[in-house]
Structures are given as structure tokens and as C-alpha cells.
Amino acid sequence: MEKNIVLIKGDGIGPEIVDEALKVLDKVCEKYGHTFRYTRILMGGESIDEYGVPLTDEALDTAKAADAVLLGSVGGPKWDDLPGHLRPEKGLLAIRKGLGLFANVRPAYLYPELKAACPLRDEIIGDGFDMVVMRELTGGLYFGARETVEQDGQMVAKDTLTYSEEEIRRIAVKGFDIARKRRNKVISVDKANVLDSSRLWRKVVHEVAASYPDVECVDMLVDNCAMQLVKDPKQFDVILTENMFGDILSDEASMVTGSIGMLSSASLNETKFGLYEPSHGSAPDIAGMDLANPIATILSAAMMLRYSFDLDQEADAIENAVKQVLADGYRTGDIMSDGCKQVGCKEMGDLIAERV
């Protein structure tokens, strides 16, 4: 199979983790006889430094023309004082919107080998957790009108949260579809006791649920959900939620399953196209030190093979290689526990590639 992949290495640990995912993809190509052609584009801080903007129109067009995009991470202290529309993160929002990637799938799975990295007690962990956050990605607070103005002698800032029925319906359908392939349970998370947008969310989710009588649908308020994730994570199969709540809850779910360094993600539209990226950020505190865990990015590459290219066997091979490396006792610092062997980012990539 031949595929064109756009690569965005980005900032901070981005280049380090993407290089390890490439190592693993090279091994897949060698073993299964595929050809992946890579085109690099710049986004985030690296694009600001080169072109003065976080994403150029040309870069977006290049991404549009590809079969899939693989991304490291963007952002860092160097660019933190720029105005909002020129920040690295704006590049990420622009590519999500520009490619229509409204569905962000973030699987949080506790590998049995990683139980010691889970901060919860043994009796809560039991035989582990396996959930997925289905996060709406191109609406809500991230894309509403915002402004900062002077009013009565002080500055006042405003961000607006808007959802249309259609935006809610299409992500709900994705959530119920994925639940059908899993354990048939959707927990829809909102703040319907306060927000109009959440009351509309709940109404539309219930309408969609009516077409999925085989899938249990439970409403949960977001504050309760944050608490339940730590109290009893086993109850979760699919968490269906809007953009901002999904951002926050997915970081929480990642820690419950060991580390943010393990949380992969796929951002999808209605086609086979997708953007694949770890859920974590550019980790400026450990950038350039060979300390980053590349597994979230490597698992995101596996999601790319599965969702965009229908290469299930190859995706399985990567996921099994990750499982094997953990079973063999290798850990990066973020998932380290007693009796394991600590390795750096590069060595972790080598060890996984070897096992593909």
C-alpha cells in the first residue's frame, strides 16, 4: 500500500516523539511491504519562528491533500506572551477546524503491566479500566467569539460557548457508533444544570440515543464525572462530551490509566482522513532530554493505520509491540515503577520497533 502522510513535528518534545513513531512505521513498512511518503509542514512555534504565523495557508492545503496527518505537539514558554491569534495553539485549532475534524477519539486503557503506574488503590483498579473519550473538537468555547475590552475603567474579557443541534448530533452519532463496537454504554457529560448549550446537548443526545436501543445512555454532570473518574473508573465505557469538558476529562482519564504519556488520539471527520496526535502537550520541562514517553504518539500512529488506512493487522502489530515492551519491563520515567528498567525516549522507540 502507498500512502502520503503529512508530518508535523512541532515544538518541545514533538520532534523527539514523532521520530520514534517514524521508526516504528518504518518497521511496519519493511515487514508488510508498504510505502509511506512523508511531507513535513510546520505548525505552532516552529511555524511562528519561520513564517510569523502558527499555520500558513500552504501548510493547511498540504495537509488537506494528504491521506493522513501525524502530529507531535505544539506550544511552549517561548511563545506564551504572543496575542491569542498568533499563539502556537492557534495553529492546532486552525488545522482541526480547517480539516473539519469534529470527532476526537481518546482511548484510555490501563495496560495490566502498568497497574503500578496507576495512582489508584488496588481494590479500585481491580482488573483494570478501558474507556474512550469521544470529545467534540470544532465547537464550543474554543471557537466562539471572544474579546477583551475596557469597560468602566477595567479590562473585561469574554469567551462564548455555542453549539448547534447539528454539531451535537454528529458527535453523538460517533459516540454511539463506537459504543456499539465496545461495551454498549455511553455516559454523556454536560453541565445541563447551568448551561443552555448543555441542555440542548442533552436533548439532542437523547434523540440520537433513541436510534440505539442496544446502547445504554446515562447523563452525568461534568463535576460529578471528574469525581467518578477517580472513585470508580470501571463504570466508564464511552464518555461523550463537548470540547472543553473533553479536554479536561481526557487528561484526568490518562492519569487514571498510568500517564498522559500513554494517551493516544485520533481527530476525525466524516471521511477516512484523520489527524493523529498524542493527547499531551509539548512538555517543555523535559524537551530535548530524551525523557519523553513516545508511546502515546506510537499508539496514535497505530490508530492512523487502523482508521485511515484499514491496516488492522499492522495496527495490531504496533499495539502488541507496545504491550510486549511493557511486559518485558521497560519504562520511561513517567510510568516507572519498582523492578522495571528505565529507558529514554529513543531506546523505547527502538525496543518497540524491534518487537513489531
Q: Is-catalytic flag, 191?
A: yes
Q: Is-catalytic flag, 251?
A: yes
Count Cβ atoms within 10 A of the Cβ of residue 22 and give its class: 0-12 exposed, 13-18 middle, 19 or more buried: buried
Is 46 one of the binding residues for Mn ion (CB under 5 A)?
no
Identified catalytic residue from 190, 237, 247, 334: 247
Phi, psi dihedrals of residue 350, rounded to the nearest 5°: -60, -45
Q: Report which residue's Cβ sits closest to ligand IPM.
A: 89
Is 279 one of the binding residues for ligand IPM (CB under 6 A)?
yes
- Establish whether 290 is an annotated binding residue: yes
103 binding partner (options ligand IPM, ligand NAD, Mn ion, none; Cβ < 5 to 8 Å by kind): none
Is 242 one of the binding residues for ligand IPM (CB under 6 A)?
no
Neighbours of 154 (CB within 10 A): 6
Q: What is the arrangement of strands in the sheet containing 130-136, beginning at the earlier edge strand? A: 35-40, 2-10, 68-73, 274-276, 266-268, 103-109, 130-136, 238-241, 185-190, 216-221
CB of 279 to ligand NAD, least distance (A): 7
Task: Determine the Cα angle at 217 with ends 93 and 205, to 5°.
Answer: 50
Q: Residue 212 or 276: which CB sits closer to ligand IPM?
A: 276
- Establish whether 82 is an annotated binding residue: yes
- Establish whether 286 is an annotated binding residue: yes
Identified catalytic residue from 26, 61, 223, 328: 223
Judged by CB under 6 A, which of 46, 190, 247, 319 binds ligand IPM?
A: 247
Q: Which residues contact 321 (CB under 8 A, 6 or more apart)?
A: 24, 352, 353, 354, 355, 356
Q: Considering CB under 6 A, how many residues would be counted as binding ligand IPM? A: 6
Tell me the C-alpha distance between 350 and 333, whole Å. Answer: 16
Which residues sit opposite 103 in a β-bridge? 136, 268
Binding to Mn ion, residues 247-286 (CB under 5 A): 247
Binding mask 62-91 for ligand IPM (x = CB under 6 A): -------------x-------------x--
- Establish whether 201 is an annotated binding residue: no
Count Cβ atoms within 10 A of the Cβ of residue 225 and give its class: 0-12 exposed, 13-18 middle, 19 or more buried: buried
CB of 82 to ligand IPM, least distance (A): 14
CB of 192 to ligand NAD, least distance (A): 27
Which residues sit opposite 190 in a β-bridge? 221
Tell me the C-alpha distance between 309 and 333, whole Å. Answer: 32
CB of 16 to ligand NAD, least distance (A): 9
136 binding partner (options ligand NAD, ligand IPM, Mn ion, none; Cβ < 5 to 8 Å by kind): none
CB of 75 to ligand NAD, least distance (A): 2
Binding to Mn ion, residues 230-249 (CB under 5 A): 247
Q: Which residues bind ligand NAD (CB under 6 A)?
A: 73-76, 89, 92, 260-261, 277, 280-286, 292-293, 296, 334
The strand pair at 266-268 and 216-221 is best described as unpaired
Tell me the C-alpha distance between 144 and 159, whole Å. Answer: 6
The number of CA neighbours under 13 Å toward the Cβ of 333 is: 8
CB of 261 to ligand NAD, least distance (A): 3
- Establish whether 289 is an annotated binding residue: yes
Cell numbers given for 79: 511563545
Interface residues with ligand IPM (CB under 6 A) are: 75, 89, 92-93, 247, 279
Binding residues for substrate, as ranges, are: 96, 106, 135, 223
Binding residues for NAD(+), as ranges, are: 76-89, 281-293
Interface residues with Mn ion (CB under 5 A) are: 247
Catalytic residues: 142, 191, 223, 247, 251
